[in-house]
Chains A and B, each alone.
Chain A
Amino acid sequence: MTSVCMYFQVHQPFRLRRFWPDESSGFYRYFDERGNREIFERVARKCYIPANKVLLNSINEHEGKFRFSLSVTGTLLKQCELWGTEVLEGFRQMAETKAVEFLDETYYHSLSSLFEKKVEFIEEIKEHRELMFTLLGIKPKVLRNTELLYNNSIAKIASDLGYKAILTEGADHLLEGRSPNLLYRAKNLGLPIILRNYKLSDDIGYRFSARWWEGYPLTAEKWASWVSGIKEDCVNIFIDYETFGEHQWEETGIFTFLRELPGEVLKKHLNFSTPFEIVEKYSPVAEIDVGDFSTISWADMERDTSAWLGNDMQRRCFEEIKLLEPFVRKTGDSEILRIWKHLLTSDHYYYMCTKWLGDGDVHSYFSIYPTPFDAAVNFMVVLMDFKAQVFRKLRAIA
C-alpha cells in the first residue's frame, strides 16, 4: 500500500524596514515591527487559523488515519507568541493528537547551512529544537533544511545531530530518471532521505487555480486518483502551508480541496504516513550524492541556490554577513547576535533575486520591495549600520 507523506512548511520572516538611520535602537531599528505584524495577522486570518481548523477536524474525523507533518520556523513561532496565540494554540492541539509530526529546521529559516563553517547552522538547529520542546513539548526526529537545501555536508550534520531522516527536493538532475517515490540514503552515511514529488506537490501549491492548466479545476478526487496511479513506496507531498488561503485564496476552493483530500486519498486505498513513519516502514533503495558545490533546493526551475545567491548583489550581501560572524560573536552581546541571526533569514536574499523569466512572477509576488535592487540596497544599508554597531561595541569592550 503506497503511503502519502505530506509536510507543510510554515514560515514568516522578520522583514527589514525601509532603513533610515534614526534614533531608534535594538531589534526594531532594523526590523519592521508594524509591517511584519500586519502581514502575520493577515496570513493568520486567511490561512493559519482556518487551515488549522480544517486539519484538526480531519484528524478527528478520520480517527488517526489522516496523518501529516509540519515544519514551523522559529521566526513564525515567535510571531505567534507575539501576535497570534490562537495560531500557536492550533499547533499545540495538533501536537496533542499524535497524528502530526513536527520537524526541525533552522530557527531562522536561514542560509547558514551554506557557510563553510557549520557552527552557526548547528546552533540554529539546536535553537529550533529547544523552541519546539518549550512551546510544544516535542522532540523532532526528522530534519528539513531551509527551502530543502541539501548537500552531503548538510546530511552529515543531520546525522551527527541524531536525526533519523532528512527531507529534500526530488530534483530531476539528482534522480537522473530514478523515482522520487522511494526512500534513498545519504552518501556514506545511511541517513534516509525523503524526496519531494514536485509534480504532485506543485499541482496543489502552484497550479491549483491556474486556468491554463489542463488539470484545472483540481478536485481532491482527481488528485487522489493521480496519486493512486503510483505503485511505489511513498508519495511525498511537500508544500507551503500558506498555499491554503494565502497563495491560493479561499475563493479558489482550496479549503474545500483540503477538507476533502483525506477522505479521497483513503478511499483510494492509500495510507497517510509521517516522515518518521516512512523511514520505519521502508528501506532506502540507493545512495544520493550531492557535493557541496552542487547544493539542491526546492526553489525555482533550477532547484539550486540561485534564488538566494544567484547574482552579485546577493552573493556580496551574503559574504558580508558571513565575514561578520566572528566579530558578532566576540561582542558577546545577545541582542547583536540575535539581529545578525535574523539577517541570515533566506527571505532577505530571495527579495534580491533578478531571475525574471519563469520564476520572476513568484519572486515579485513574495517581495515587499518594488524591485530586487531596492531590496539589495536596503539590506546593504542595514548591514552597514549594523556593522558599525558591532565595531562600536567591540571598541567599548576592548
Chain B
Amino acid sequence: MHLNDIIMESIEMGGRYSFDLSGPFLEQCRWDPELLESFHELEESGSVEFTGSCNYHSLSSLYPDLSWFNEEISIYREIIRELLGVTPKTFVNTELLYTERIGCNLAEAGFGCLIAEGSKNLINGHDPVNIFQNHLPTLLRHINLSEDLELRFLEKNADGYNLIPNKFADWIKSMEGDVLTLYVNYTNLCVHHTNENTIVDFIRTFPNALKIRGIEMLTPSEAVKRFSHSRLQTLETEQTIRYGMHNAIGNNAQQLYMQELVKIGEELSELKGSKAYWKLKQIFGYLQQSEIFFSMNSGSIREGYERAVNYFSILSDFRRAVLEEAK
C-alpha cells in the first residue's frame, strides 16, 4: 500500500512501470478495497502496464496439454478486467518460465509481448538488452541487475554498494543495447522497505537519475513498439528456460505431485457441464499453485516431505471428489 504511494510519486517524476499481479493476490485484494483502489489509481496514471498472468501462479505451462494453462490465462483476463478494467497485452508466466511451445501458445492467445527469464542457457553470457522475436516479441529479464535491486539492496559491504540511484543508473548507461528489463518481487522490496528508507528514496529518485543520463523508462508494450526485434536462435528450444527449476520439480515428491495434477486435470476436463464442475475447477486451480511445489523442496527433506504427505492426502481426497462427481 505504502509502496504503491511511492511508485505513484515516482511516476510523477517520470517513472513507468509494469505490474504482474497474481490471480490469488487479486482475489485477496477484494478483502481490501483501499488497496485495490490504489492499483486502480496507478492504472489511471497511464504510466503503468498490467501484464497477463497464469492465474493460479501454477506450473500448468509444463503440462503435456496446454488447455489448463489457457484456462488460467482466460480466468486471469476476466479477473483483471473486472477489478482493474484492463486487458493485458504483455504476458508474464509463473517464475518467468519459457519454452518455445509456451511462446507459440501465447502468440495464438493474442499477446503482443512476453517477459521471460534471461537465463544463461538462452543468452550465453551476453546481457539481454534487445527485444527478441520468436513467436512473439520477448523481453528477457536481466538477472544480475534485477537481483541487485531486489535481494542485494541492503548488503552494504559488497562491492559497489550501498546502491544509490546514480550509481545504478551509471551501470545501466554503460551498457549497450535497446532495452533493459528489470523484474523484481514487489514483496521483497516491501520487506526491505520496512527496514530502511533507502529503497523509498531509490524509487523516488531513480527516474530522474535515468533521465539525466538520457535513459527512458518504458512499459513492455511501449518497448516492443519502439525498438526493432532481433532473432535469438536459442529461443527455439523445448528446454525449459528458468534457472533453478529443481526447486519446483526437482525431487520425487514434486514430480509425482505434478504427474497427479496432470491426471486429475484430464479427469476434471471430462466433467464440463456437470453441476460441481465450476467449484471443483476452482479448487483444482488453487491446488496447482507453484508455491505448493516449492514448499516440498525447501528446508530439510524432512520439512519438504512432511508437507508432501499432507498435500498428497489433500490431493487424493480431491481426486476422489472428482471421480465421485463423474457419472
Query: Taking beta carbons and an 8 Å cutoff, which residues of A are in contact with B?
Result: 18-21, 312-313, 316-317, 320, 354, 371, 373-374, 376-378, 380-381, 383-384, 387-388, 391-392, 394-395, 398
Contacts and interface: CB of A to CB of B under 8 A. Distances in A.
B96 to A, nearest CB: 28
A362 to B, nearest CB: 20
A374 B305 contact: yes
Contact of A391 (B309, B312, B313, B323): B323
Contacts of A373: 301-302, 304-306
B172 to A, nearest CB: 46
A387 B309 contact: no
Contacts of B77: none
A395 B323 CA distance: 7
A376 B305 contact: yes
A316 B313 contact: yes
A398 B326 CA distance: 11
Interface stretch (B80-88, B202-210, B229-237, B314-322): B314-322
B269 interface: no
A394 B320 CA distance: 11
B324 A380 contact: no
Contacts of B224: none
B256 to A, nearest CB: 5
Identify the 7 closest CB pairs spanning chains A and B, nearest first.
A373-B305, A384-B316, A391-B323, A380-B312, A313-B309, A377-B253, A381-B256
A377 B313 contact: no
A135 to B, nearest CB: 36
Nearest to A392: B323
Given A313-B306, A354-B302, A377-B305, 14 more contacts: A21-B259, A316-B310, A317-B309, A320-B316, A371-B305, A373-B306, A377-B253, A377-B256, A380-B309, A381-B260, A388-B263, A391-B323, A395-B323, A395-B326
A391 to B, nearest CB: 4
A268 B324 CA distance: 67
Given A20-B256, A21-B263, A391-B324, A383 B316 contact: yes
A21 B256 CA distance: 8
A312 B306 contact: yes
Contacts of B315: 384
What is the interface of chain B mostly: helix, strand, loop, or mixed? Answer: helix
Contacts of B326: 395
Interface of B: 252-253, 256, 259-260, 263, 301-302, 304-306, 308-310, 312-313, 315-316, 319-320, 323-324, 326-327
A21 B301 CA distance: 22
Nearest to A375: B305
Contacts of B327: 395, 398
A75 B286 CA distance: 41
A371 B251 CA distance: 14
Contact of B309 (A18, A21, A316, A395): A316
Contacts of B263: 21, 388
A381 B312 contact: yes
14 contacts: A20-B259, A21-B263, A313-B306, A316-B309, A373-B302, A380-B312, A381-B253, A381-B260, A383-B316, A384-B312, A387-B316, A387-B319, A388-B319, A395-B324
B91 to A, nearest CB: 31
A387 B316 CA distance: 7
Contacts of A20: 256, 259
Contact of B319 (A312, A317, A384): A384
Among A19, A388, A392, chain B packs the most CB atoms within 10 A around the CB of A388
Nearest to A371: B301
B302 A320 contact: no
Nearest to B255: A20
A383 B309 CA distance: 11
A381 B323 CA distance: 17
A377 B308 contact: yes
Contacts of A384: 260, 312, 315-316, 319
A161 B85 CA distance: 73
Contacts of A19: 256
A311 to B, nearest CB: 8
Nearest to A313: B309
Contacts of B256: 19-21, 377, 381
A374 B306 CA distance: 10
Nearest to A376: B309
Nearest to A320: B313
A373 B263 CA distance: 24
Contact of B316 (A376, A388, A394, A398): A388
Among A313, A354, A378, A384, chain B packs the most CB atoms within 10 A around the CB of A384
Contacts of A313: 305-306, 309
A392 B323 CA distance: 6
B305 A391 contact: no
Nearest to B318: A384
A377 B302 contact: no
Nearest to A323: B317
Nearest to B259: A21
A265 B59 CA distance: 68
Nearest to A18: B252
A313 B306 CA distance: 7
A373 B296 CA distance: 11
Contacts of B308: 377, 380
Contacts of B324: 391, 394-395
A118 B90 CA distance: 61
Contacts of A377: 252-253, 256, 305, 308-309, 312
Among B259, B260, B308, B312, chain A packs the most CB atoms within 10 A around the CB of B312
A330 to B, nearest CB: 12
Among B260, B309, B312, chain A packs the most CB atoms within 10 A around the CB of B309
